[in-house]
Amino acid sequence: MNAEFHPHEVKDIFRITVVSIVILIVIGFLSTGCTDTCEVDRSYTYFKPVYTTTEEIRSAVAFGTPQSVNQPGKIYFKDGILFINEVGEGIHIIDNTNPSSPRQLSFVTIPGNFDMAAKGNYLYADSYIDLLVFDISNVNDVKMVKRVEGAFQAFGNLPFNFDSWQGVITSYEEATIEEVTEMDCASNSGGDIFFYAEAADASFVKFNSSGGATLMANSTSNAPATTAAGVGGSMARFAIYEDFLYTIDASSLYLFDITQLDDPRSGARVDIGWGIETLFPYEDKLFIGANNGMHIYDNANPEAPEHLSTYQHIQSCDPVVVEGDYAYVTLRSGNACQGFTNQLEIVDISDLRNPKAFQTYPMQNPHGLGVDGKCLFICEGEFGLKLFDKTDLTSIDDHLVANYTNVHAFDVIPLNGVLMMIGEDGLYQYEYDCEGKLELLSTIPVLAL
């Protein structure tokens, strides 16, 4: 049995349960008493890591017909095309020129894929520690044109040296060890004995994408892409600004020069600090969400981002989006972040070198979020989707426009009156106007085509 990991709920530990069943055999008890020793059968059940070699991973990229959505992760939109990450497996490509009737076109199998970003005719995606480049000029005939091997120094929190390691841990399977031991009968009380152990080597960190785009309502599925970048959600770990692709892992910002779009060149690596989670570009600034704060970088010189300040908050998961002089940060409890707070924080960033707390609102379990004018969308995980009117930042909680509690909401992309929302249930699309309108247009549910 394989143990699976979900995109927005990363498991840092797993338990190994040891079960002992004791069988006592007493011979001649009435005449001679207990023998000196007894045989004990023990059965140990644990989860064994399954390794996949780099050769197997790098030869497994494939292009095929549409597949059902099983474990949706991040979403990315560009020029009428919607990309949905299937956690750890690849990317669904969807013609979304008509949001009321999205059409699944194909599925690209990419082992170890969690993130994507696009510019011009090219899509960038991670495959464990490699960076892949795909030609999407014809989304009905996607082709891989480049693999940058070892582009990232770590997958999740773990460094991997493929020369000395067995490969990448791609899953876990249940295994059992049985043994027979001898022990003093008198010391054995009988019954079951339970042992618990914890290991911290099962943590996996995921990436995502970000940028800016225009909804092309009249485009065709194989129309040439514009030279602009696409747009991703607030859970982004990939971002494109001008001629650079930026990605983050748990502690570092990676730069890739994409002046030649089909041939990215590795650039600088900037140490940010442990626990970074999301990446949001706004104008010529980078806002990096961490589980203990928000880092702000000046990106006026795209090949050398400059740290301006860090806004600190309590330990918690932390996606961030920005509009104008304010940053919107959701903090939530969760195993991966080891936090216990669920709230929305609004941060005054009018002075980028001195960000200040402006307002805080309690939430249920906020995940991703999005802003568009006076609209503020909050994904509350299993508690659904909320739309607030944020005209008055001092009383947002008094201006709840809509609240859908019958969906699971992980992240959103609000764009030109269409909200694209992803969650464990699948893809939901809504038409909105922030005057009280939030109408469902379409869905692509999990396990359905």
Exposed (0-12), middle (13-18) or buried (19+): which is 215, by Cβ within 10 Å? Answer: middle
| H-only helix segments in 132-276 | none
User: Which pLDDT tens digit goes with each residue over 216-261?
Assistant: 333 333 444 456 899 999 998 999 999 999 999 889 999 999 999 9
Q: What is the DSSP letter of 413?
A: E
> Considering the entire predicted model, what is its pTM?
0.78
SS3 186: helix
User: Which pLDDT tens digit goes with each residue over 379-418?
Assistant: 999 999 999 999 999 999 999 999 999 999 999 999 999 9
Would you say the C-alpha torsion 394, 400, 401, 402 has a positive or negative sign? positive
Spatial neighbors of 189 by CB under 8 A, at least 6 apart, are none
The torsion angles phi and psi of 123, rounded to 5 degrees, stand at -110, 130
CA–CA separation, 405 and 418 (whole Å):
19
DSSP string covering 17-33: EEEEE-----SSHHHH-
Nearest residue to 208 via CA among 346, 379, 400, 412: 412
Contact (Cβ atoms closer than 8 angstroms) between residue 224 and residue 130? no
SS3 10: coil
Q: Which two tokens stand for residue 38?
A: 């007894």
Residue type, 398: D
Nearest residue to 85 via CA among 100, 107, 52: 107
User: Which pLDDT tens digit goes with each residue over 175-189?
Assistant: 888 777 776 665 554
Q: What angle do CA 92, 98, 101 make, to 5 degrees?
A: 70
CA–CA separation, 367 and 369 (whole Å):
7
Q: In the predicted model, what is the mean pLDDT of residues 330-357?
A: 86
Q: Which two tokens stand for residue 142?
A: 């996607």
Residue 43's pLDDT band, with cuts at 50, 70 and 90, is confident
CA–CA separation, 207 and 301 (whole Å):
23
Q: Which two tokens stand for residue 59?
A: 């030869």
The torsion angles phi and psi of 398, rounded to 5 degrees, stand at -90, 0
